[in-house]
Copies of this chain bind each other. A is one copy, B any other.
Amino acid sequence: MMIVMKEGATAEQIAHVVERIEEVGCSAHLSTGELLTVIGAIGDRDRVAALGLEMTDGVDHLVPILKPYKLASAQFKKGERTVVEIDGRRIGGDHFGLIAGPCTIESREQTLDVARVVNDAGATMLRGGAYKPRTSPYSFQGLGVAGLRLLQEAKDETGLPIVTELMDVRDVEDVVEVADVIQIGARNMQNYTLLTEAGRTGKAVLLKRGLSSTLDDLLMASEYVLKEGNPNVMLCERGIRTFETAYRFTLDLLAIPALRELTHLPIVVDPSHAPGRRDWVPAMSLAAAAAGADGVIVEVHNDPEHAICDGPQALPTSDFADYADQVRRVAEVAGKLVTA
């Protein structure tokens, strides 16, 4: 942490800051310029941050130097990349994951139908929601345990690993029975009790970036999972809130190379929710693959017009094989292979 003193800060003020830094077992290093002094606090970042020196007399502002996350940082694995592997299917490193399936589990026929199509087209995993976070309390909230059972059936038939959302810590046991990957939704990205419980299950976790979360926020959230001893976290960009109203969210693909520099964790993109309409989903999927994403998680439905939830953004099963081929081609240009 660097503490930038105000122009005209007195020797006493500087000494007081140094003293407080030393009180918490860190050392202070002064750098005196023509106009002002900068104090480098060397040692445990968190202890210095906890001092709250921002309003101390003579202090202008603080500049953090080290990142606040540890286990998630690229340095932690010294350049090696995390590869999440489930039943031989890999995501991360040179492996591109194509995760596909319906937004919401609605019925046996829908679930199995979609699962077969995406499996035949070479998908890596099956996605599907049994518990749905809905903006309105009056909207369909998911089939719950009955939905989880349908996912199990689809897994039994196709062998596809299951990605499904956990919303409530009280559902952990039910979800863990079926899920291979626990999805934490964007709205729950900073639901720390949920993150901790997800971490404790030992299952892989797909963590969606919150609508207004910085990459640092996302990595700090992943730290809640990782600190439980669970190394299998995948980060998911799904669109951020901006001023633009031509689409629901602004898909932030620059996050891909940026996260690649900051962390060893795989980076997956959800190309469905930001556009909110299926005709823009392929362009965003290819762009994600071209930008170096480790996977996409895309919504597919056998009858989008009658989907209970988010039908307009679901790719119809009839288009999925072609879509998968195109994604595969672009991923290859970016140096990755889709693993089915």
Cβ-neighbour of A312 out of B52, B167, B240, B310 (below 8 A): B52
Q: Which of B40, B169, B245, B253 contacts A38 (CB 8 A)?
A: B40
Say yes or no: A250 contacts B245, CB within 8 Å. no
Cβ of A11 within 8 Å of any chain B Cβ, yes or no, is: no
User: Is A302 part of the binding interface, using a Cβ–Cβ cutoff of 8 Å?
Assistant: no
Q: Tell me the nearest residue of chain B to A70, going by C-beta.
A: B138
- Among A68, A254, A255, which residue has the most Cβ atoms of chain B within 10 A? A254
The answer to whether A88 has its CB under 8 Å from any CB of chain B is no
Q: What are the residues of chain B within 8 A of A254 when measuring CB–CB? A: 247, 250-251, 274-275, 280, 284
**Cβ–Cβ < 8 Å partners of A54 in chain B:** 276-277, 312
Inter-subunit contact A290/B283 (CB<8 Å): yes
Distance in Å from the Cβ of A238 to the closest Cβ of chain B? 12
The residue on B at minimum CB distance from A62 is B312
Q: Do B35 and A135 have beta carbons less than 8 Å apart? A: no
List A222-238 residues whose CB lies under 8 Å from chain B. Answer: 223-224, 227
CB A195 to nearest CB in B, in angstroms, measures 8
For A289, what are the chain B residues with a Cβ–Cβ distance below 8 Å?
A: 290
Tell me if A330 is interfacial: C-beta within 8 Å of chain B. Answer: yes
Q: How far is the CB of A257 from chain B (nearest CB, A)?
A: 4
On chain B, the residues within 8 Å of A4 by CB distance are: 65
> Taking the nearest CB of chain B, how far is it from the CB of A60, in angstroms?
9
- Sample (23) of A-B pairs whose CB atoms are under 8 Å apart: A2-B63, A33-B42, A46-B138, A46-B139, A50-B140, A50-B308, A52-B311, A53-B312, A55-B279, A55-B311, A133-B192, A168-B169, A169-B169, A211-B212, A212-B212, A214-B245, A242-B243, A244-B255, A250-B254, A254-B284, A283-B291, A286-B290, A287-B291
Task: Identify 19 new A-B residue pairs, CB closer than 8 A, beyond the known A188-B190, A251-B254.
Answer: A2-B63, A29-B33, A31-B31, A36-B65, A50-B139, A52-B304, A52-B312, A135-B217, A137-B223, A167-B192, A187-B191, A212-B243, A250-B250, A254-B274, A257-B275, A283-B292, A286-B290, A290-B330, A333-B333
